[in-house]
Amino acid sequence: MPRTEPTPALISATEEVQKRVLWLATLMIHHANHVRPNHDGVKVGGHQASSASMVTILTTLYLHYLRPGDRVAVKPHASPVYHALQYLLGRLDARYLTQLRAFGGLQAYPSRTKDPDSPDFSTGSVGLGAVAPAFAALSAHYVAAHFGRPATQRFIALVGDAELDEGNVWEAVLDPALGELDNLLWIVDLNRQSLDRVVPGIRAAHLKRLFADSGWRVLEAKYGCRLQTLFAQPDGDLLRTRIDEMSNEEYQALIRLPGAELRPRLTNGDKRLARLLDQVPDAELPATLANLGGHDVTELLKTFAAADAEPRRPTIIFAYTIKGWGLPIAGHPLNHSMLLSPEQIETLREQFGIPPGHEWDRLPPDSPGGRLCAEVAHRLYGVPPQPKPTPTIPLPDEITVPTSGMISTQDTFGRFLVRIADLPGLRERIVTASPDVSVSTNLAGWINKTGVFARREEPDFETEAYRILRWRRWPGGQHIELGISEMNLFMLLGMFGLAHDLIGEPLIPIGTVYDPFVCRGLDAFIYGLYSGARFIVVGTPSGITLAPEGGAHQSSVTASLGIELPQLTSFEPCFALETAWLLREAIRLCIDPQGSASYLRLSTRPIDQNLLQPALDRLGATELHRQVLLGGYRLIDRNDYQDHPDAPIVHIVTSGVLVPEAVAAAHYLRREGVAVNVINLTSARRIYERWRRGNDLSWLFPPNERTAPIVTVHDAASHALAWLGSVYGTPLRAHGVDRFGQSGSRDDLYRAFHLDPLSIVETAFDLID
């Protein structure tokens, strides 16, 4: 816990540590750019100025505020500061200090899956690192309510002030689901500089009002002790007003001037202000003016103590800092990408009193700073928590759903969840979420059985018996309803999908979203995958099959994303039986420590389940199940028909809701003397990966049929399946959605995009001819 009345000895020891942190962080970047051989001839980069502004905040946070189990998201550009601290605390081997931005070394930005000192959160995509701890904090309260695990951990985000320009930050701040997170703290590095400039105007007051109006507790560490001492003297209010009212640009310019030049520009002819500043020698005046709260250990300790004083609200601290603090580039308007020269590094080494040949040393263990680091390392990491055994989550071999008649995959998804709600052991680990589309994505049955998660029981004033959805809000609820923000949905899925790593309890998060709006949350989707999270996304309804809704609600590129995004398994079933099997597989992948996230692309179009029967009769349920999980099977096999043994062969390959059109085209072609295989890909991703690995695909394309032409038919961008022609070098024509859609009947749109049976037939004849 922070010490609200720090002793001079404690402050001195902390400042000794922060000086070494500043040196190591700066040297790491210097070594990567000027010392380590660079055969590419391209600047390695790094952010010496952005790192420097965070040195005091991070050092004070780790040495005095954090408790074991607290989780921290580090501002991306401050990663060298984080690594320097981990090194001084004994958590990072010295050999990595010379490997910043090297392959296999320290990443450019903190990565929980790639950095050897294991940051709690990956950061780098600006704004997402700020929001991730918020949803992790929500998951801690969820786990506490459902599994009796006290929510004692605190979740902290270190945020650059320019990150507050990102829209996803405000989507999260405004979401009611994050409204009472007493375990969430944001610390804003308010250095008032972005990548290209000093930010004009004074926005801090406006930002503080926005957070306060959103229910946050707003604190600030604005001025350090030296300035506060001056403010407390007669006429001290003049100095405070002068600093408060000057523009960011003027302040940055003044602190870079020598004291003799600074004095007249600061006093600006005010005799009373000049008398107040007479007590400050010229040599100390620039440092006094630059004495901001974000670089004052005492002020930060007081502010951190205040952050824990009031419960049941998220808290934000605006810590005023100087970009490049402690370096010769401090406050320079273009210092974002500046690198210190070798001569400047040598001067800094001498200034910090580091002997030649000892540049990478830790602090001496018998020094005050060295002893403080040892104490903190023992407190935070010395006594590892007793690991709680990972619970075994029972997953039945089969989860049955209705499989006859006219059924859509989206409807099957809803029925599948209702079935899971009756399965103890598995049910408890499921948590669903949606951005205000629960009913329209078939979550109503699940919500009626489990309720909506809330920290406290809330009354339900709706009593109409005809309601589709019973919206019971209580601590045992297993659904989280978000506002209309796909970014928030994917951030929630990612952080709940890391609950086992961050909190110690595994969860299986399932999120639903209208499929075209997957792209709205794509950055957060990628962030969750990059962080190693395991979760399930159900994109539904999808494609132009959602015909009357118009082009704005018709997805096309999402199927390709399902193939391309790393650490993701994607599925696009057509039939209810496939959907149930693939949903179970997605849950298995969430449970498996070596598993992945999953994405299912579903539809509201009812499909005649009898179309599956020929394949079920030919293969049997066991083999069909195996092939569905492999990624595809022959729905129609030309060998089932012997009436045209010498007929030309064509493959019709489809995925998802266009199976009926593919089957109708196949029947037409067969009547015209063409032998047709209809291949239904339940996971184009898995088939693509098998091909890339050089694995056999002969159950789909046997050797004697590999020269036969292929027609692909997909309610998605045509290129998503076009790669199949490369597998064996066969002619291929791809039917898909390569233009924006419009409103209309499904049949009209299918004809317009050449997805109807007749268009498929015509293409098949062209290829055969």
The residues, ordered by sequence, that sit 6+ positions from 4 with a Cβ below 8 Å of its Cβ are 301, 302, 305
User: What Cα–Cα distance (Å) separates residue 359 from each residue in 350, 352, 725?
Assistant: 11, 10, 58
Per-position DSSP letters for 145-165, written without gaps between them = HHH-------EEEEEEGGGGG
Cβ-based neighbours of 74, under 8 Å, separated by 6 or more:
58, 81, 82, 110, 119, 121, 123, 129, 158
Last residue of a domain, one of 350, 382, 414: 382
pLDDT above 50 for 4: no
| Closest to 467 (Cα-Cα) out of 439, 435, 431, 434 | 439
Contacts of 336 (CB under 8 A, 6+ apart): 47, 49, 50, 193, 194, 195, 196, 323
Task: Using DSSP, state whether 491 is helix, strand or coil.
Answer: helix
Same-domain pairing of 97 and 184: yes
- What mean pLDDT comes out for the span 4-23? 91
Read off the pLDDT of residues 519-559 as tens digits, 9 standing for 90 and up: 999 999 999 999 999 999 999 999 999 999 888 899 999 99
CATH number at residue 750: 3.40.50.920
298 inside domain: yes
| Two structure tokens written together for 183 | 């375990």
Query: Are 173 and 300 members of one domain?
Result: yes
pLDDT of residue 215: 92
Res. 198: pLDDT tops 50: no
CA gap 255, 348 in Å, rounded: 19
- The reply to whether 235 falls in a domain is no
The pLDDT score that the predictor gives to residue 462 is 64
Q: Does residue 58 sit within a domain?
A: yes
- Reported confidence tier of residue 197, pLDDT bands at 50, 70, 90: very low
Q: Is the pLDDT of residue 2 over 50?
A: no
How far apart are alpha carbons 130 and 161 in whole angstroms? 11
Residue 575 sits in the same domain as residue 655: no
SS3 454: coil
Q: Are 730 and 710 in contact (CB under 8 A)?
A: yes
Four-CA torsion 586, 678, 667, 555, nearest 10 degrees: 50
Q: What does the block give as tokens for 688?
A: 């693509």
Q: What is the mean pLDDT of residues 230-245?
A: 93
- Give the start-end residues of each E strand in 454-558: 473-474, 479-481, 508-513, 536-539
Residue whose tokens read 């003799």 = 260
Percent of the chain with pLDDT over 90: 83
The verdict on 114 and 214 lying in the same domain is yes
The chain-wide mean pLDDT, for the chain, equals 93
Neighbouring C-alpha atoms within 13 Å toward the C-beta of 532: 18
CATH number, domain of 483, equals 3.40.50.970
What is the reported pLDDT for 38? 84
Last-in-domain residue among 545, 580, 601:
601
Q: Are residues 331 and 421 in the same domain?
A: no
Which stretches of 246-296 are DSSP H helices? 248-254, 259-267, 271-277, 285-289
Q: Show which of 382, 397, 430 is a domain's final residue.
A: 382
Q: How many CA atoms lie within 13 A of 63 on its CB side?
A: 31
Residue of 152, 86, 15, 106 whose CA lies nearest to 377: 86
pLDDT grade for 196, boundaries at 50, 70 and 90: very low
Q: How many residues does the chain have?
A: 769
Say if residues 489 and 511 touch (Cβ distance below 8 Å). Answer: yes
Instruction: Evaluate whether 129 touches 76 at the Cβ level (below 8 Å).
Output: yes
- pLDDT band of 456, cuts 50, 70, 90: confident
Q: Do 595 and 686 fall into the same domain?
A: no
Edge to edge, what strands does the sheet with 732-735 contain?
Answer: 632-636, 675-681, 649-655, 710-714, 732-735
Position 292: which residue type?
L
Token code pair at residue 735: 């039917």
Examine residue 392 and state whether it is found in any structural domain, yes or no. no
Distance CA 654, CA 662 (A): 7
pLDDT digits (tens, 9 = 90+) for 598-650: 999 999 999 999 999 999 999 999 999 999 999 999 999 998 887 777 899 99
Cβ 561 vs Cβ 518: under 8 Å:
yes
Question: Quick check: is 1 in a domain?
Answer: no
Are residue 336 and residue 415 in the same domain, yes or no? no
Q: Are residues 452 and 491 in the same domain?
A: yes
Q: Give the structural domain span for 678.
A: 631-768
CA distance 258 to 265: 11
Q: How many helices (H) and strands (E) does the chain have?
A: 30, 20
Rounded mean pLDDT of 694-703?
A: 94
Is residue 675 within 8 A of residue 649, CB to CB? The reply is: yes
**Per-residue pLDDT band at 463 (split at 50, 70, 90):** low
**pLDDT of 334:** 79
Residue 8 included in any domain: no
pLDDT digits 0-9 by tens, 648-686: 999 999 999 999 999 999 999 999 999 999 999 999 999
Does the pLDDT value for residue 383 go beyond 80? Answer: no
> What is the DSSP code (8-state) at residue 223?
B
CA proximity to 263, closest of 281, 248, 245: 281
Please provide residue 189's backbone torsions phi and psi, each rounded to the nearest 5 degrees: -80, 90
Shared-domain flag, residues 305 and 160: yes
Contacts of 463 (CB under 8 A, 6+ apart): none
412 and 377 assigned to the same domain = no
Sheet with 217-221: list strands edge to edge. 71-73, 155-160, 184-190, 315-320, 217-221
Spatial separation of the C-alpha atoms in residues 769 and 751, rounded to whole Å: 23
In a domain, 607, yes or no: no
Helix boundaries (H) for 31-112: 48-52, 55-60, 79-88
- Same domain as 41, residue 144: yes
Domain count, the chain: 3
* Residue 194 in this model has a pLDDT that exceeds 70: no
The reply to whether 458 and 530 lie within a common domain is yes
Residue 3 has pLDDT above 80, yes or no: no
Q: Indicate whether 281 belongs to any domain.
A: no
How does residue 755 score in pLDDT terms, banded at 50, 70 and 90? very high
Over range 344-354, report the average pLDDT: 95
| 373 CA to centre of own chain | 32
